[in-house]
Structure 1
Amino acid sequence: MDRRALRERPDGPNGSATGGGAEYTGRYVVLFDPGNHESGINALRSSADIAPVERIRGSAEPASVAELLERPDVSVFFEDLAAAVVEVRPEKRHALVTTAEAEPSIIAAEPERLVHASPITAPHQAPTDFFPAYRSDEQVVARQSQAEAAAVQGPAWDEQNVTWGLQAIRAHLSAMTGRGVKIAVLDTGVDTDHPDLVGRVDETVSFVPGETVEDLHGHGTHCIGTAAGPANPGQKPRYGVATEARILAAKVLDNTGHGPDGQILAGLAWAIDHGARVISMSLGAPVQPGELFPQTYELVAQRALDRGVVIVAAAGNSSRRPGVIRPVERPANCPSILAVASLDKAMQMAASSCGGVNGNGGEVDVAAPGKFIISAAPGGGHAVMSGTSMATPHVAGVLAMLIQAHPNDSAADLKARLLATALPLTQPGSDVGAGLVQAP
C-alpha cells in the first residue's frame, strides 16, 4: 500500500474532524509515558485492536525501518522516543482516541499527517487559503545566477567571497567553526558526491522506502550547505556557517518532497542516537489561528533537550504580507523547538514568513537570512533559494558554533544564549522574536 496515495481525514484526538487542508495517512502517532509504555500499548491492543507492534531503536537498520513504516499490517514503536506510529482499522479509530484520553500511560494520540514539499506561490499568483499539510518549506524562488541574486532590492552586499547571509550573522568574522559538532539535517537527503561536502558527511540514512539518501530534489543539499558548508568551497562565495561541523543527513522526504510523520520521527530517533547536538528541520505544516502545537513533537523535543539536543525548525511561509500573516507552522510552533523567521537583504521580513499569531509556543523565536540564499545544489554546483527553510540552517550552524564555544552548556543554556545574543531589530517581536541571530 502506498501511504502517499492516501488522503483520509480521521477524527482528531478530541473526536472532531481535523481540517485546514491537511492530509492524513489514516494512522495515528501515539506518545507514551517512557516508564510505562507497555500499559498503553496493551490498552490499545485490547480496545482498538491495533496492528502488531514492531519495536525499533535509533540504531536499527534504516531500510528495515522504512519498510516497516510502509506496511499496513504493523505498528512501529520507536523505543528511544517512546512514540509509535499505530495502524488501526477505520472503525476502531474512535476507540483508539477514547482509550488514549482515558489511559494515563498514553500522553498524546494525533492523526499522522502526510508531509509535502511544494514550491512557493509565484508573486503573480493570488494567495490561496489551501496549503498542503507538510512541505520542505518555501523552496526555489528562482535558480538564479549570483549576479541576478545580487541585483535584488536591498543593500548592495558584496557576495564575491562570502554570502550576504553569513555577513549578516557575522559568521565569517567568528573564530568558531563548530568543529566536531554534529548537525543533523532532516530533509530530502544530500548529494553525497558534492565536492564541497565530500569528507564532511559523517553518516547518512534514508527512511524513504525504495530511495537512497541521494538528493534528487535539491532542498536538503541546500540546507546542509548553509549549515555546515566548507570555509573554502570549490567555487566562491563561502556559504557555510559552521565550516568544521560534522553532518548527519537523514532523508525523511522523498525525491518529490513527500513523507509522513513516521519518517520524521524515525529521523529524529536516528539523529539523537547518532550523537547530533543540533537537529535542523526545514519543513512545516500550516496551522489555524488558535490551534495548539502538536503534543507529540513537543514532548519529543523536550526529551531531546534533556539529552543535550536543540531542535530548530522553519517558522513557515504561509503568509502573504503585508495583508495576511499566518501563524507559525508545526512543528516550529512547539515551545521546545526554536522557530526561525526569514529576513531579506534589507533586514525586512520576507513577505511569506509566518508570524507569532498563536501564543503558547506559537511565537517566532529568532530571525535569520532567508531571501536569495546561495548554497550547495545537487550535481556539484550552487543554487539560490528563499524561505524560512533557508533561514533555519543559518541558526543550526550558529548553534554548532555556540556549542564549540561553550561545550559545558546544557541545551537549554544554549537556546538562552542564542536568543540573548541576537541583534534586536525594528520589527515587532511577533515577527522576528529576539532578533537577528549572531555568531559567537
Structure 2
Amino acid sequence: MSQPTGAGTTGRYLVLLEDRSVAAGAREMSRVAGITATSTADHATTAELAAADGLIFQDLGIAVVDATPDQVARLSRAAESPGPIAVVEAERVVQAYDTADTGQAAAVDESVFTWGLQAVGANLSSATGKGVRIAVLDTGFAADHPDFAGRAVITNSFIEGETADDAHGHGTHCVGSAAGPRTPASGGPGYGVAHEAEVYAGKVLSNAGFGSDSGILAGIEWAIANGCAVVSMSLGAAVRPGTPHSLIFEQAATRALAKGTLIIAAAGNESRRPGSVNPVGHPANCPSILAVGAVDVHRGIAFFSCGTVDAVGQVDLVGPGVDVYSSWNREDGALGRHKRIQGTSMATPHVAGVAALVAEKHGARGWELWARLAQSGRRLDLPSTDVGGGLVQAP
C-alpha cells in the first residue's frame, strides 16, 4: 500500500519493512528500485550516509528514502505483493502544537504548585518518577536553565545543522511540565509532574518549530535504545476527516510497546469550538499511540482541542492545556525564564509525567502502563469523544 506525495510532505518516502525482515527488506529495495540504504545498526560514517539513498531505523524496521516517481512506483508494487516491503508512505512535515496564550494566571492558587500539577494530583502523589526515563521529542532543551542546574538532562539533535539547544522554547516548556522541579531555583510555583525522572530531550523539531516524520522516527528509536519507558511528543500534522492513520507509525508504536516504550502524543489544536471540531492529527491518530486532548482550569474542553470525529483516530485522555506555566528558553518579562502558553502540546507532557509516576509505582511498561494510565482517568461531565477516559490522575 502507498500514499501519494501531496501538500505537507517532504518529497521523501517512508518504507515499512516486515518484522524480522529488515535485512531482506534492504535487499528488496535495492533489487526492485535500485535504492541503497544504510542501517542505524551499521554505525555508518557521514560520508557513507551521504552516499546512500536512505536510512533504515533498525529497531523500528522502517526506512526513509529519497526516491524518484519511478522508484516509488516500483516500491509500491512490491508492497502490494507478499514480501519484506509492507507499506510505502510519503514523509510528512510536522510541527509543534501550541497556540497564542493570554498570558494570564489561572484562576486558582498557584503559590506552591501550578494548577496543572494540582489537576492531575501530582502534588499529592508519593511517586516522583525516580528511576524512570522519559523522552521528550520536541525543539530541544535549554541546558542553561537555572531550574535544572545540577540535573542531568541527556540531549540529542536529529535536526541537521542544529544543536540540541532549544532556540524556540516549546521543547523546554514541555520538558518542564513533564519532569521539571517542584521547588524551582528561580522561584515561582512547582511545575514538574515527574520531578525526579531521568530526562532525554531529543530535538526532532527545528528552532522554527518544524520537522519531519523521519526525525520523529529517529527520536523514537533513540528513546527505545536508551530504555525510555515514556515518549512525549507535542507535535504533529493536521488531517482531514476520514484520512487513514499512518500504517508505518502504527507499526513503530506497536514495536515500541513490545520493547516497553509507550508513545504519548498531542491530539492537535485545529478545532475552533463550539463552531468546529477537527479530527485527531498525525501521528496521534494511530491506535497504538496514546492521544491527548486539553482541558482548562475549569475542567472544560479547550476550544482548540481536536476530538474524535470519525473511526480513524480518538482522544484517549486529557491533561491541563490552558494557561500552563513552565520553563522557557529565555527571559519572558516578569515571569523570568518561564512562560504561560496553551495547546494540546502542554497537556501531553502532563500525561507523560503521570505515566512516569505510574511506571515507577507499579513497575509497569508498554501495554500494562497504557492500561494503568487509562484506568486512572477522572471522569468529566463531557463527551468521551472530546476527553476519552477523562483527566489523567497520578497514582
Fold match, TM over 0.5?
A: yes
Is 2:65 aligned against 1:105?
no
The amino acid that maps onto 1:211 is E
Shift of 1:18: 5.5
4+ residue stretches of structure 1 with deviation over 6 A?
none
Instruction: Kindly indicate whether residue 56 of structure 2 is the aligned counterpart of residue 77 of structure 1.
Output: yes
Superposition pairs of residues 189-204 of structure 1, within 5 angstroms: 189-204=140-155
After superposition, give the CA deviation of every residue in 1:170-209 in whole Å (9 maximum; x if it has no partner): 1111111011211100000000111112333341100111
* Aligned-CA RMSD value: 2.0
Report the AA paired with residue 219 of structure 1. Answer: H
Structure-1 residue corresponding to 2:285: 333
Q: Deviations over 1:29-86 (max 9, x none)?
A: 1111232223322222222222x211114x959x959x94xx5852101111111101
Q: Identify which of 294, 309, 323 aligns with 1:372.
A: 323
Superposed counterparts of 1:127-166, under 5 Å: 134-142=94-102, 144=103, 148-150=104-106, 156-166=107-117
Q: Which residue of 2 aligns with 1:435?
A: 390
- Alignment partner of 2:191 out of 239, 260, 276: 239
Indicate the residue corresponding to 1:48 in structure 2.
33
Q: Percent identity?
A: 47
1:38 is paired with a residue whose SS is: helix
1:258 maps onto 2:194 in alignment: no
| Counterpart residue number, 1:390 | 346
- Distance in 2 (CA, whole Å) between partners of 1:207 and 1:60 is 15
Please tell me whether the aligned partners of residues 53 and 67 of structure 2 are also in contact (alpha carbons under 8 angstroms).
no
What secondary structure sits across from 1:102 in the alignment?
coil
1:387 is aligned with what amino acid? G
- 1:350 corresponds in structure 2 to 302
What do residues 79-126 of structure 1 show as CA deviations (whole Å, max 9, x unaligned)? 111111012123322122112222421222111112xxxxxxxxxxxx
- Say if 2:15 and 2:87, in contact at 8 Å, map to a contact too: yes
Q: In the alignment, does 2:227 pair up with 1:271?
A: no
CA contact (8 A) 1:372 1:385 kept: yes
| Residues 388-438 of structure 1, C-alpha deviations (whole Å, 9 max, x = no match) | 00000000000110011101x342111111111210001110100000000
Name the counterpart of 2:374. Answer: 419
| Cα distance in 2 between the residues matched to 1:274 and 1:294 | 25
State the alpha-carbon separation in 2 of the partners of residues 102 and 367 from structure 1. 40
2:275 aligned residue (323, 332, 344): 323
Number of matched pairs: 389
Cα 1:252–1:64 shift into 2, 3 Å: farther
Partner AA of 1:30 in structure 2: V
Distance 2:100 2:52 in 1: 38
TM-score, with structure 2 as normaliser: 0.94
- Equivalent residue of 1:149, what SS? coil
Aligned to 1:290: 242
Does structure 1 residue 96 correspond to structure 2 residue 56? no
SS of residue in 1 equivalent to 2:105: helix
Once the two structures are overlaid, the 10-residue window that deviates more, 41-50 or 326-335, is: 41-50
Long gaps (5+) in structure 1: 1-12, 115-133, 151-155
Aligned to 1:172: 123
The whole-number CA distance in structure 2 between the counterparts of 1:416 and 1:394 is 17
Which residue among 359, 362, 371 is the counterpart of 1:403? Answer: 359
| Distance across 1 between alignment mates of 2:43 and 2:233 | 21
| Structure 2: distance between partners of 1:149 and 1:274 | 37
**Is the contact between residue 38 and residue 52 of structure 2 (CA under 8 Å) also seen in structure 1?**
no
Assess if the C-alpha contact under 8 Å between 2:91 and 2:213 holds in 1.
Answer: yes
**2:23 aligned residue:** 38
Amino acid at match of 2:59: D
- The 3 A distance-change label for structure 1 pair 198 and 436 is same
Equivalent-residue separation in structure 2 for 1:97 and 1:33 (angstroms): 14
- Aligned CA distance change for structure 1 residues 55 and 435 (closer, same or farther; 3 Å): same
Aligned to 1:124: none
Q: Which runs of 5+ in 2 are unaligned?
A: 332-336
Paired letter, 2:268: G
TM-score normalised over the length of structure 1: 0.84
Counterparts of 1:47 and 1:76 in 2: how far apart (Å)? 17
CA contact 1:343–1:368 (8 Å) conserved in 2: yes
